[in-house]
Structure 1
Amino acid sequence: MTRAISPDHPTERSAEPLAPALYITATPIGNRGDVTLRALEALARADRLLCEDTRVTRKLLGMYGLSRPLIAYHDHNAESMRPKILAWIAAGESVVLVSDAGTPLISDPGFKLARDCRAAGLPVTALPGASAALAALAVCGLPTDRFFFLGFLPPKSAARRAELAEVAGLRASLVIYESPRRLAALLADAAAVLPGRQAAVCRELTKMFEEAVTGTLEELARRYAEADTPKGEIVLVIGPPGEAAAWSEAAVDAALDEALATHSVKDAAAAVAAASGLPKKTVYARALARRDAP
């Protein structure tokens, strides 16, 4: 019989079945040692296991000597699967939901399932654990008292810049997921819309080659424009707007010059005002002067 780690006794599997509920269960984002005891118990004891990719979850189970039937639950079958899942829980079964890595529902399918369970009066519980967003915030050295999770931005530059402009004024760190092949383009757009911001490119979190490269967005954009495409999953953390007192006239002018290269005067001024905390009218007047300077 497959054995799993019990939170109460590490060498004996509990005989008690899981209570009927939907269990939102975090799995490792890289280092397999980051799986929790509760997650292993749930994976071993649940009546049904839902996962994005059965191949990925089967590999995880195999690392811990578990072998269970798996049910695919993803964007392409979610509409037809949700009524079945609710019926299973209502009939007294326990259902575990995992994503390929990290905490389900964070930039992954699943929130509609939790919503529908709640609407039907069915219990939903979280088995917390690894999250790339939280891991990046922990190591990046940027403010974490307030942060805004953006997930994956649009692949096209114009749409990406528009979304960044919408959050430019937030007094919070921004957390963004990106693929390695689009990192350089994302950094270029972020530098144009959020000039002067401190940022960190976090890569391969919890794995052997984990790194967090820090600098201004402009510095990071130049670095990755010239470098080979990095490997591994990417989390970009962008610091909040700086205080107005910290921006010298030279810093404002440099940020405006960079923004004016790709933006209208109005958009460039708005972006720099949001980043610096300076009054919009002041920055707009300076942007006009920079544009009209010989």
Structure 2
Amino acid sequence: MSSSASTAPPAPACDPLAAALSFCSGQQLPPGGCLLVVATPIGNLADITLRALAMLERCDVVAAEDTRMAQRLLQAYGISKPLLRADRHREQAAAGEMLDLLAAGRRVAFVSDAGTPGVNDPGAVLVRNARSAGYPVFALPGASSVTAALSACGLDLDLGYTFAGYVPATQQQRIAFWREQLSSPRVVVCFETPHRIDDSLQDLQHLALALAAAPRIVLAKELTKQFETYVADTPSALLDWLRADPKRAQGEFVLVLQPATTAEEVNARAQRWLLRLARELPASRAAAVVAEMLDADRKTLYRWLLAQDTDTAGRSR
């Protein structure tokens, strides 16, 4: 047997920027000013897309939530561009500077610290101002901790999900927040900080005592980084896991929660039918129809539908 396959020298490394420019050479951008909203890695620099690299190279100025983070990314791929600070505190001022650049025919790319701009990050003000002034805005999709956590959570996403941003800081607000999420028919994704993750899990543990069954939670930690971790369990078990090692409270957290009521009492197929029929029928009639279709308990379906905070479920009973 020939051993040439095992002894052949490795292929030379490819220059990612050169490859990006080659792959994207056919993409046309408008001749005048435009805004490029560019998603960037959430921890691993290798998660940048080739298209993002090509557009960063082709832009004239990079507006950034943190210019130091942006500089680190650009240098890693051999890109050098003027930087404009556009964090949350000066986004409005940066929007004015951006409009001057766009009026001069410049291409401006905006990057947040990590992930997709505008999703719990600055960016919306720049986009609104550019669009209002008549300049084209293009989105370059890429890394997102929300979709990364959802893709690996293993929870039931048939009814979709809700992104709830950061968990509130004060206990009163936090408890109200979690009470609302626990009543949702959909999976909920939110962010939590290292110094409040213990408090959040304690609140969830307390609220779960009043439920027929504990919610299912996936705790995603340090996504795409060296110590990326997923732990799936009840609030009580997750609290025990967190406290077993002080180092586990370090890093950034994404919580993915599936309320027990949607998983235990009413399956996803029944939920879809209930929500669809409730647009046209009273809640009691919608529950009766679905119960007959799926051989399910009408009272359980009716209670679930009444618990949904929607106009369709809240109309005639």
- Name the TM tier (shorter chain): 0.7 to 0.9
Of 129-138 and 206-215, the range deviating more from structure 2: 206-215
The count of corresponding residues between Structure 1 and Structure 2 is: 249
**Alignment of 1:117 onto 2:130:** yes
> SS at 2:18's partner residue?
coil
Q: Tell me the percent identity.
A: 37
Contact 1:29 1:130 in 2 (8 A): yes
Q: TM-score, normalised by structure 1?
A: 0.76
**Alignment of 1:199 onto 2:217:** yes
Of 143-152 and 113-122, the range deviating more from structure 2: 113-122
Instruction: Report Cα offsets for 1:13-46 as digits up to 9, x if no partner.
Output: 9599853311110111122211001110111110
Contact 1:180 1:233 in 2 (8 A): yes
Equivalent position of 1:153 in the other structure: 167
Deviation, structure 1 residue 132: 0.6
Matches within 5 A, 1:156-235: 156-194=170-208, 195=211, 196-230=214-248, 231-235=250-254
Q: 1:26 aligns with which of 39, 55, 59?
A: 39
Give the AA of the match of 1:235: V
> SS at 1:122's partner residue?
coil
Give the AA of the match of 1:202: A
CA distance in 2, matches of 1:277, 1:75: 44
CA spacing shift, 1:245–1:148, aligned 2, 3 Å? closer
CA distance in 1, matches of 2:21, 2:57: 15
Contact 2:217 2:255 in 1 (8 A): yes
Q: TM-score, normalised by structure 2?
A: 0.71
Q: 2:92 aligns with which of 58, 79, 93?
A: 79
Equivalent position of 2:153 in the other structure: 140
Equivalent position of 1:239 in the other structure: 258
Equivalent position of 1:256 in the other structure: none
CA distance in 2, matches of 1:176, 1:225: 21
Deviation, structure 1 residue 9: 2.1
Larger Rg: 2
Give the AA of the match of 2:132: A
Contact 2:85 2:94 in 1 (8 A): no
Equivalent position of 2:116 in the other structure: 103
CA distance in 2, matches of 1:245, 1:175: 19
Task: Extract unaligned runs of 5+ from structure 1.
Answer: 248-275, 281-294
Give the root-mean-square deviation of aligned CA atoms. 2.8
Equivalent position of 1:255 in the other structure: none
